[in-house]
Structure 1
Amino acid sequence: MPTTFTGLVLLVVLLLPGLTFVVIRERRGSERRPTPFRETGAVVFCSVLTELVTLGLFAAARALMPDLTPDVGRLVREGWSYVRDQYAQLGWWASGLLLFSCTLAAVVAAIIGKRPHASAMSAWWVMFDSWFPGEDPIVGCVLEDGSYIEGRQASFNVSSDDSPDRDLVLVEPLKYRAPGATEVQTFPWGAACISARRIVTMFVSYPRPEPEAAGAAATQGSAPAAS
């Protein structure tokens, strides 16, 4: 850990892009629980990579616009003397480069974080997001007491662990069958929260394409080519 204020600032600057990447990835994809070593490695690797790209772009800008960019050579030779003379320019450029690095990390996380690797997916993630992303399927659950509840999936725990300590939220139209009953009844409520610990079997029905759209697609596919 840094023991000076300057060291603390440098640590934040170095790790902020990687931390941005990890936070965005977790919010857009399946929640994973890597080891502290892997998590730290991801933060450091992403920070170094994005900052190298940013420094490369700054070097190109320095070559094209030497009068509008800080003089890195003078900064190295003169140190704090040059910083005191050009603190405003250095401050704006340092803030801009750090913001660009964080933005680049966030964009990369948004692109690759939505589709985690299959090894990091839970069964719920596969059924509710991986196979038909963007859909809200109809879900039916047989519970351990023999009852049955059905509704449209509204929310689910995105943890990559198939743990019983999580919940599934279903919204109307809700249907319910009491234990020992034979018929499913409409349930006059807006939403239901079901504990994964109580679910024995889960059925998922995905939306099917509209008949008119399917017919139009079939017609287009079978239309003869113009001579």
Structure 2
Amino acid sequence: MPTSITGLVLLVVLLLPGLTFVIVRERKGSERRPTPFRETGAVVFCSVVAELAALVVFAAVRWLRPDLTPDVGQLIREGAAYARVNYAELGWWAGGLLLFACALAAVTAAFTGTRPHPSAMSAWWVMFDKWFPGENPIVGCVLEDGSYIEGRQASFNVSSDDSPDRDLVLIEPLKYRAPGAAEMHDFPWGAACISARRIVAMFVSYPPVLGQEAGAATQASAPAAS
């Protein structure tokens, strides 16, 4: 850990672009828990690459329009004396290059992030996001006491671990069957939160695919026409 203000600033500058890359990339899939070494390596590597790209842009501007950029050679020769005189220009350029590196990391993560392989994800993520992303299917759950509840999936825990310590949220239209009952009844509530620990089996009904829906309508109309 840094022991001075200068060290803290350098740490933030080094890690911020990589942290931006990792956060944006995590939005593309399920929440995973890599080892600390692997996560730290990814953050540092992405930060170094993004900041090198920002320095290349600065070098290009320096070569094309040297009057618009700080004098790097003079800064190296004079050090603090040059920084005290040109602190405003140095501050604007440092902040701008850091923001450029963070923006570059975010754009790269958004356009290069691929959906993770199902083998590394939870069964919930596969059912709710992998097969039909963006949809809200009808979900039915058999609970451990023998009851049954059904509704439209609203949200679920995206952790990659199939842990019982997570919840599933269903919204209306809700249906419920009490333990030992034979029929389901409409449940007059807007939403229900179900603990994964209480779920014995889960059934998912996906919306029909457009091509399949059109084919079924054609087959239904053919006998009527004949």
Answer yes or no: same fold by TM over 0.5: yes
- Give the C-alpha shift of residue 4 in structure 1: 2.3
- Give the C-alpha shift of residue 25 in structure 1: 3.0
In structure 1, stretches of 5+ residues that fail to align are: 220-227
Q: Name the structure 1 match of 2:191.
A: 191
Residue 112 (structure 2) pairs with residue 76 (structure 1): no
Q: Name the structure 2 match of 1:207.
A: 207
8 Å contact 1:141–1:149 — kept in the other structure?
Answer: yes
8 Å contact 1:61–1:69 — kept in the other structure?
Answer: yes
- Give the C-alpha shift of residue 208 in structure 1: 1.3
Residue 5 (structure 2) pairs with residue 5 (structure 1): yes
Quote the Cα distance in structure 2 between the aligned partners of 1:172 and 1:137: 12
Paired residue type of 1:202:
M
8 Å contact 2:118–2:130 — kept in the other structure?
Answer: no
Quote the Cα distance in structure 1 between the aligned partners of 2:72 and 2:214: 62
Q: Please show how residues 138-157 of structure 1 align to structure 2 within 5 Å.
A: 138-157=138-157
Q: Name the structure 2 match of 1:177.
A: 177
Per the alignment, in what secondary structure is the counterpart of residue 67 of structure 1? helix
TM-score where L is the length of structure 1: 0.87
**Cα gap change, 1:212 to 1:130, in 2 (>3 Å):** closer
1:110-157 superposed Cα distances (whole Å, 9 cap, x missing partner):
334572343431111111111111111111111111111110000000
- Give the C-alpha shift of residue 29 in structure 1: 2.7
**Cα gap change, 1:52 to 1:106, in 2 (>3 Å):** same
In structure 2, stretches of 5+ residues that fail to align are: 219-226
Paired-residue identity, % = 80
8 Å contact 1:30–1:120 — kept in the other structure?
Answer: no
Per the alignment, in what secondary structure is the counterpart of residue 49 of structure 1? helix
Paired residue type of 1:155:
S
Quote the Cα distance in structure 2 between the aligned partners of 1:117 and 1:95: 37
Give the superposed CA RMSD: 2.2
**Cα gap change, 1:170 to 1:114, in 2 (>3 Å):** farther
Quote the Cα distance in structure 1 between the aligned partners of 2:16 and 2:71: 25
Equivalenced residues, count: 217
- Give the C-alpha shift of residue 214 in structure 1: 3.0
